[in-house]
Amino acid sequence: MGPEKTARNTVPTSSNIRSGSGTATAVRTTTPKAGTGKTAKITHEQIALRAREIWMKRGCRLGQDEQNWLEAERQLKAELGIK
């Protein structure tokens, strides 16, 4: 079987939570890029940081949290070559 996939809006299970420094971070596991044999991972924290950067670049406008989040995910996936 392939790697476990988790959706952004699901509650992480114990098998896809990493903890460190007293905090838990959900890890989004994605399918590997074709031909690489490697699994790319984008963490909740990475997406959150990128979404905050996008929010700040767009003038800190309220009410665009989901749009910023989705854009952050899109950018990170593109950088890692994930579809």
6 CB-near residues (< 8 Å, 6+ apart)? 12, 13, 16, 26, 27, 28, 29
Predicted confidence pLDDT, tens digits, the chain (83 residues): 444 444 444 333 333 434 344 444 444 444 454 555 556 789 999 999 999 999 999 999 999 999 999 999 999 999 999 87
For residue 28, count CB atoms less than 10 angstroms from its CB and return exposed for 0-12, middle for 13-18, buried for 19 or more: buried
- Three-state DSSP at 28 gives strand
Residue 3 DSSP symbol: -
The type of residue at 34 is: A
pTM confidence score: 0.54
